[in-house]
Amino acid sequence: MNINSIFKKPAIPGEYLKIIESLFPAKGPTLQTIAKYAEALGIGEDYQKHLAVKESSKERSDLLVNFQNNLDLLIQKTWVEKREEERKSNLQDDVLPFINLILEGDFRGALETFGAILAELAYLFFGHQSGKDDFTEYTFRIDAQMGLFWQYGSQIGKLEEMYKNVHLEEEIFWALLLLGICYLTNF
């Protein structure tokens, strides 16, 4: 028996694996499974509050402004090598078109764009580690909620491919977007 196998703990605790699996089941996520994921991320109350507001309301507009401001601050405060400063600038340039997709009601397009934004943000935060197969496990070792968020982030851009044979309502796409928006607004 290898001594490493004795002491090696599962990278992602079982209760979190169940939460992860519940967000992206084969038949597609539901508002209930997304709400449970929001609770696990620690943003349940904020998520529920914003899920209930109307599309063209001041509350939705305020949320998107706060999200944009906080994301901009996160990007600006991220330290990178000089040769990667352009990545930061490009990521900042991607945020406004993403928000415009939301304002236009193109939640499917916004999810795909958000997946790319989160991949770049992960790179700015974690460098090359973000591209490794064990990235989610790595973030779980830092913090369980962070691990849940980056697991969500790694899947969000693949939604169209994952559910190409499943019809998902627009409200599901908005709910999935809202998970990441609320998390990053409160980060």
Rg over alpha carbons for the chain, rounded to the nearest Å, is 17
Please state the pTM of the whole predicted model. Answer: 0.88
Euclidean distance between CA atoms 165 and 74, whole angstroms: 36
Q: What is the pLDDT of residue 71?
A: 95
Q: What is the pLDDT of residue 90?
A: 93
pLDDT in tens, 56-88: 789 999 999 999 999 999 998 888 788 888 899
Helical segments of 78-143, H only = 85-103, 107-126, 135-142
Q: What is the pLDDT of residue 64?
A: 96
Q: What is the pLDDT of residue 129?
A: 94
The answer to whether 57 and 175 are in contact (CB under 8 A) is no
The answer to whether 179 and 48 are in contact (CB under 8 A) is no
pLDDT along the chain (187 residues), means of 10: 42 80 88 95 96 86 95 89 87 95 92 94 93 91 92 88 84 95 95
The pair of three-digit structure tokens given for residue 134, joined into one six-digit string: 């064990």
Q: What is the pLDDT of residue 11?
A: 66
